[in-house]
Amino acid sequence: MLIVAERVNASRKAIRAALEALDAAAIANEVRIQAAAGAHYIDVNGGTFPGREAELLCWLVDVAQAETRLPLCLDSPDPQALLAALARIKGERPMINSINLEPERFEKILPLARQYNAKLIALAQGEGVPAASAVEKVELATRLVEQLLKGGMALDDIYVDPLVFPVGTDSTSALATVTAMREIMARFPGVHTICGLTNVSHGLPARKLVNRSFLAGAIANGMDAAIIDPTDTLLMSTLLGAEAVFGRDEYCMNLIEAFQDGRLT
C-alpha cells in the first residue's frame, strides 16, 4: 500500500498557523513524524491563502525537502502554483494532486505531469456534480484514464480517486466507491486506485472507527494507495491487518515485522 501522508495541509488549524508565521520548524516536525510513521509520499498543501498559494506551496516544498528524501505530493488545483512548485523539486519523482475531467484543468495539468515526469491523482469528476453511484464513478474514471493514456501518461503513474462522500449523508457512498475501485482496476490492469480516506466519516461520531472500517473494505476491493495520517497507529494497524487477510502481504511478513517492532495497536 502506497501511503500519501496528509498532515501538511493548510486546512488544518496548526498548519495554517505555521504557514501564517512561516514556521519552518513546525512544518519540518510534521514531515519528520509522518516519514517515521511509514509514509511513502508527503502531501504538501498551501491553499486557503488567496493570492499566496504559489509562494506558500514553494516554501512548503523547500522545507519538506530539507527534512526528508521522501518524494512529495503537490496538492493544488492551481496550475501556476504547481508549475512553480514542480520547478523546485530536487529529489524523486513527485506526485500531483490532482487532475479531473474539467477541460481547463485537464489541459493545463497534464502537460505539467509530463514535463516533470510526475505521477497523477485522477479524480472521477467532470464539470458537473461528482458521480455518486458506482456506475457513474466507473464511467467518469474510464473517460479520464483513456484521455490520460492518449495524452502520454503510463497506467502505472495514474492513481484514480473515485471520490468517497460522507456516509452520514450518503449511506451508499463507501460501497459505491469500493465497487468502482474494483471495476476500474479490472478494466485497466496496472492502474492504481487511491482515496482521501477521512472524507467518508465527515460529520459522524467515532470518525476513526469509520475510517478504519472503510480502509479495510477498500483494501479488500483492490485499493493500493491512500491519502491518510500515518501517525494514526490504529489506522496503520488496520491497514497491515487487512493487507495480511486479503493476500496483499506475502506470508504476513509486514504484519510480523510490525508486531516485532511494537508498531501494532
Q: Rounded distance, CA 156 to CA 87, Å?
A: 23
- At residue 100, the pLDDT reads 96
Quickly count: other Cβ atoms within 10 Å of residue 230's Cβ.
Answer: 23
The sign of the CA dihedral 91, 97, 99, 102 is negative
Q: Give the mean pLDDT of 210-235.
A: 98
pLDDT at 130: 81
Query: What average pLDDT does the segment 68-89 reach?
Result: 97
Q: How far apart are CA 74 and CA 58, in angstroms?
A: 10
In terms of phi and psi (left: phi > 0; alpha: psi -120 to 50; beta: otherwise), the region of 43 is beta
What percentage of the chain carries pLDDT values higher than 70? Answer: 100
4-37 residue pLDDT tens: 999 999 999 999 999 999 999 999 999 999 999 9
Mean pLDDT score of the chain, rounded to an integer? 97
- Overall pTM > 0.75: yes
pLDDT 10s digits, 90-121: 989 999 999 999 999 999 999 999 999 999 99
What grid cell was written down for 243?
493487507
Residues 98-103: contacts with CB within 8 Å, 24+ apart?
A: 98/122, 98/123, 98/161, 99/123, 99/144, 99/148, 100/124, 100/125, 100/126, 100/144, 101/125, 101/126, 101/127, 101/140, 101/143, 101/144, 101/147, 102/126, 102/127, 103/127
pLDDT of residue 109: 98
| Residue 244 in this model has a pLDDT that exceeds 90 | yes
Q: What is the pLDDT of residue 86?
A: 98
Averaged pLDDT, 47-56: 93
User: Can you tell me the distance from the alpha carbon of 198 to that of 202, in angstroms, rounded to the nearest whole number?
Assistant: 7
Q: Residue 129: pLDDT above 80? A: no
pLDDT band for position 179 (cuts 50, 70, 90): very high
Mean pLDDT over residues 50-70, rounded?
97
DSSP-derived 3-state class of residue 150? helix
